[in-house]
A and B are shown apart, each in its own frame.
Chain A
Amino acid sequence: MNPRDEIVIALAGQPNCGKSTLFNAVAGFKVNTGNFAGTTVSFTETKVFFEGRTIRLIDLPGTYSISSHDIAEKVARDYLLSGNADVIINVVDTSLLSRSLEFTIQILEMNIPMVIGLNMYDEAIRKGIEIDLAGLKTLTGTEAYPIIAVEGSGVHELFEAALRIAESEFKPVKPVYDRDVEECIADITKRYPPALRSGLDLDERFLIIRLLEMDEDFEKTVGKLDNDFLKYVLKKRQELAEIHNWPESGVFSSHRHAFVIDLFEQIARVSRRDGMDLRERIDHFIINPAGGFTAIIGLLLFMFYTSFKLGDIISGLIEAPLDALGQSVRGMAGGLASIMMSGLYDGMVAGAGIVLPYLIPLLILMAILEDSGLLPRIAFMVDGLLHRFGLHGKSAVPIILGYGCNVPAIMAARGLEYERDRIITMLIIPFIACSARTVIILALAGKYLGGVYTTLIYIGNIMVALAVSFGLSRLHVDMAPGIIMDVPPLRRPYLHLVANKVWWRLREFLFFAWPVIVVSSVALSIISYIGVDRIIDTFLSPVTSTILNLPEQTGITLFLGIFRKELTLLMLNQSLGTTNIASILSNVQIFVLVVFTVLYIPCVATISTLWKEGGWKIALYSIILNTSVAIIVAGSIAQIAKLF
């Protein structure tokens, strides 16, 4: 196959500029999106067919500059430096064009064919920014196309241009800096050693600029190949800093910044507008302490209450027909076949009648929360509070994402720059009640104990997580560097994006979790039939019976919950032999069971993600930590309740 038959296009840009939204607009919904920086933490690739051509499309994590600071930024930088992309689509948030151009200029310096996608063009117009597209092309040598990725507007023209540029000679107009800087670069270029030319496949000017910007990775690489050359560059860098009376670390970037401001002034016209529109008024209410906390608490209560109410209604509607079907299934055959049919039925019904009704409303509300831009505002409000418990403010976003699913939440912790903060955040996330555990809370505590105890479980869950974080932070006392984070404007969630996101997450349940539940249900029926469940129940009875004061039969359900958290709830009906849990368990026992289920050992998917992100020691630590805390907290409640 001719290699040019497949074009590699990488989407690169600053965080929250809409790269993943553009990726999804072309490839279908394949990566998560959200209105906050750091939604994408690893690169995703897919093949798309466009105008008869095959495109390998790469979605890179956002990065503010080529100098990477966290793991996600390093992924983007390494890919850009790999030279694998035939063309880069530099996605920029047009409403923040002057800042976005800093990264554009850095890509230009790399000499990789590029086209600019001016995303959120509508927002820029609303802000009074007008762009001279022809001027931008003249001054940078790069074509730019206005797009609105969420609506798919302008995307076709952008990709047409990307294909054309990938196959033609790219002639960027490289930035020319002040005379002092250019003379410095020229002096260094004269001494550019042959060892670097043959050893590194990089543009010479780009490499010199990286060294002038104190890029430690390149300093190490160049130092190994020609240390004398590196010493010469460092001397020239110091001279440049002295001439301008600036610190070495900022002297080059300051020149680039001045260049970008000049470029922006030449290509953009900004007409200021007075007053605040409705979105800005709502934002103003949310980011003041009184309004902010009211909004956060109200929003979370609304989310869980709505999920419960809607789930209850849907569950009630389908209960009668499913029960009738169950009776006919159970009356079909005898012996092991009957037991297996019954297990199959229980597994199918568990997904349809118990999980889906509560899961769907929760996923819809989580998607709206992510797309609205409320998450960074919550991080802003709770940062000071989190610091008191040893957590970094940036941890707030992964932790809140944990209410949806712990797996992407743990991956989102990559956005934390310091190892200590990242590890504490990763260890706290498995304490957060994900959607599967929320289903258990709503279907057991909500149904049998009422709203007060359900709220108590949520508040208690947050308090336990904070207490654990406080304890962990005391084990490794260190000064966190403090938060710095973009706060994007509030945005209206788009119905089609919310629907796509809900379906994307629901698919994981329908095609992975539900089959696991059905198979587990059949397996449980068989092991009950042959009596293996009693062995597991007996083995776990020191915890279930003695400490938690629960019936022994809960042992097998808690064991299965390790594979999928929903299984604890679903298998409970089966192992207790009734759908009316309250006829077997007292209110205290239901409360204890829910608290234990919310806190104990993370599910297999979470454990494997912890392993991948932090190593096997972190995964093992998390298993021991969660299980210990669950036994202490739920056991204490059970033992204290026994006294009364």
Chain B
Amino acid sequence: MDGFGLREGKRIRLIMAAPFRGPLLLEDLGSGARIMIGRGMAETVEVSRCESS
């Protein structure tokens, strides 16, 4: 995940969840990159909700 810029403290936005329990589409609010990440991998990441900017 490091290579994709997903690391501790990163602010992300969930754009869409794919059907059939497919991946999540995230936007890295820092770089603007859009990354799809499988649910199994996403479940290993701890996230907290932050105020929308």
Tell me whether A393 and B7 are in contact in the complex, defined as CB-CB below 8 angstroms, given that A127-B32, A288-B16 are known contacts: no
**B51 CB → nearest A CB, Å:** 16
Query: Which of A98, A127, A254, A487 gathers most chain B CB within 10 Å?
Result: A487
Query: Which of B4, B15, B21, B23 gathers most chain A CB within 10 Å?
Result: B23
A379 at the interface (CB under 8 A from B): yes
Q: How far is B49's CA from A14's CA once the two chains are assembled, in angstroms?
A: 30
Query: Which A68-102 residues sit within 8 Å CB-CB of chain B?
Result: 69, 95-99, 102
**B40 CB → nearest A CB, Å:** 4
Interface pair A485/B33, CB less than 8 Å apart: no
Interface pair B3/A482, CB less than 8 Å apart: no
Using an 8 Å CB-CB cutoff, how does the interface string of B1-32 with A read, 1 for contact, 0 for none? 11111011000000110111111010010111
A6 at the interface (CB under 8 A from B): no
Interface pair B5/A102, CB less than 8 Å apart: yes
Report which of A96, A99, A380, A481 forms a contact with B36, defined as CB distance below 8 A.
Answer: A380
Question: Which of chain B's residues have a CB closer than 8 A to the CB of A488?
Answer: 34
Q: How far is B35's CA from A482's CA once the two chains are assembled, in angstroms?
A: 13
Report which of A127, A250, A381 forms a contact with B7, defined as CB distance below 8 A.
Answer: A250
- Binding stretch for chain B, among A312-320, A382-390, A551-559, A624-632: A382-390
Report which of A95, A96, A250 forms a contact with B2, defined as CB distance below 8 A.
Answer: A250
Q: How far is B21's CA from A96's CA once the two chains are assembled, in angstroms?
A: 28
Question: Which of chain B's residues have a CB closer than 8 A to the CB of A99?
Answer: 4-5, 28, 30-31, 33
Q: How many residues of B contact A (CB 8 A)?
A: 30
Interface pair A376/B36, CB less than 8 Å apart: yes
Q: Which residue of A lies closest to B19 (CB)?
A: A289
Interface pair B4/A381, CB less than 8 Å apart: no
Question: Which of chain B's residues have a CB closer than 8 A to the CB of A483?
Answer: 23, 36-38, 41
Interface pair A98/B40, CB less than 8 Å apart: no
Q: How far is B39's CA from A473's CA once the two chains are assembled, in angstroms?
A: 20
A64 at the interface (CB under 8 A from B): yes
Question: Which of chain A's residues have a CB closer than 8 A to the CB of B35?
Answer: 484-487
A65 at the interface (CB under 8 A from B): yes
A173 at the interface (CB under 8 A from B): no
A257 at the interface (CB under 8 A from B): yes
Question: Which of chain A's residues have a CB closer than 8 A to the CB of B8?
Answer: 250, 254
Interface pair A381/B38, CB less than 8 Å apart: no
Question: Which of chain B's residues have a CB closer than 8 A to the CB of A289?
Answer: 18-19
Report which of B15, B22, B32 forms a contact with A393, defined as CB distance below 8 A.
Answer: B22
Question: Which of chain B's residues have a CB closer than 8 A to the CB of A127?
Answer: 32
Question: Which of chain B's residues have a CB closer than 8 A to the CB of A487?
Answer: 25, 34-36
Interface pair A287/B7, CB less than 8 Å apart: no
Interface pair B20/A384, CB less than 8 Å apart: yes
Give the contact-size bracket for chain A: 35 or more
Question: Which of chain B's residues have a CB closer than 8 A to the CB of A97?
Answer: 31
A253 at the interface (CB under 8 A from B): yes
Query: Which of B18, B28, B34, B42 gathers most chain A CB within 10 Å?
Result: B18
Question: Which of chain B's residues have a CB closer than 8 A to the CB of A393?
Answer: 22-23, 36, 38
Question: Which of chain B's residues have a CB closer than 8 A to the CB of A287?
Answer: 15-16, 25
Query: Which of B15, B19, B21, B41 gathers most chain A CB within 10 Å?
Result: B19
**B29 CB → nearest A CB, Å:** 10
Query: Which of A64, A254, A261, A384 gathers most chain B CB within 10 Å?
Result: A384
Query: Which A375-403 residues sit within 8 Å CB-CB of chain B?
Result: 376, 379-385, 387-388, 393
Interface pair A384/B2, CB less than 8 Å apart: no
Question: Which of chain A's residues have a CB closer than 8 A to the CB of B30?
Answer: 98-99, 261
Interface pair B18/A96, CB less than 8 Å apart: no
Q: How far is B23's CA from A289's CA once the two chains are assembled, in angstroms?
A: 12
Interface pair B4/A486, CB less than 8 Å apart: yes
Interface pair A484/B36, CB less than 8 Å apart: yes
Q: Which residue of B lies closest to A128 (CB)?
A: B32
Query: Which A215-266 residues sit within 8 Å CB-CB of chain B?
Result: 250, 253-254, 257, 261
Interface pair A486/B2, CB less than 8 Å apart: no
Q: How far is B15's CA from A447's CA once the two chains are assembled, in angstroms?
A: 44
Q: How far is B35's CA from A384's CA once the two chains are assembled, in angstroms?
A: 16
Interface pair B41/A98, CB less than 8 Å apart: no
Q: How far is B38's CA from A356's CA once the two chains are assembled, in angstroms?
A: 41
Q: How far is B38's CA from A97's CA once the two chains are assembled, in angstroms?
A: 25
Q: How far is B33's CA from A488's CA once the two chains are assembled, in angstroms?
A: 8
Question: Which of chain B's residues have a CB closer than 8 A to the CB of A482?
Answer: 23, 37-42
Interface pair A484/B38, CB less than 8 Å apart: yes
Question: Which of chain A's residues have a CB closer than 8 A to the CB of B7?
Answer: 250, 253-254, 257
Interface pair A383/B18, CB less than 8 Å apart: yes
Interface pair A253/B2, CB less than 8 Å apart: yes
Q: Which residue of A lies closest to B40 (CB)?
A: A482
Q: How far is B35's CA from A487's CA once the two chains are assembled, in angstroms?
A: 5
Interface pair B31/A98, CB less than 8 Å apart: yes
Interface pair B3/A380, CB less than 8 Å apart: no
Interface pair B38/A64, CB less than 8 Å apart: no
Question: Which of chain A's residues have a CB closer than 8 A to the CB of B2?
Answer: 64-65, 250, 253, 257
Q: How far is B18's CA from A381's CA once the two chains are assembled, in angstroms?
A: 6
**A126 CB → nearest B CB, Å:** 11
Question: Which of chain A's residues have a CB closer than 8 A to the CB of B5?
Answer: 98-99, 102
Interface pair B37/A384, CB less than 8 Å apart: no
Q: How far is B9's CA from A261's CA once the two chains are assembled, in angstroms?
A: 12
Interface pair B34/A384, CB less than 8 Å apart: no
- A14-B3, A380-B23, A484-B38 are known; give 6 further A-B pairs, CB within 8 A: A99-B5, A250-B2, A383-B18, A483-B38, A484-B35, A487-B36
- A sample of 14 cross-chain residue pairs with beta-carbon separation below 8 angstroms, ordered by A number, consists of A96-B31, A99-B5, A99-B33, A127-B32, A287-B15, A287-B16, A287-B25, A380-B22, A380-B23, A384-B20, A385-B19, A484-B37, A485-B35, A486-B4
Instruction: Please name the 5 residue pairs, one residue from A and one from B, whose CB atoms are nearest each other, closest first.
Output: A482-B38, A64-B3, A384-B22, A384-B20, A482-B40
Interface residues of B (CB under 8 A from A): 1-5, 7-8, 15-16, 18-23, 25, 28, 30-42
Interface residues of A (CB under 8 A from B): 14, 64-65, 67, 69, 95-99, 102, 127, 250, 253-254, 257, 261, 287-289, 293, 376, 379-385, 387-388, 393, 479, 481-489
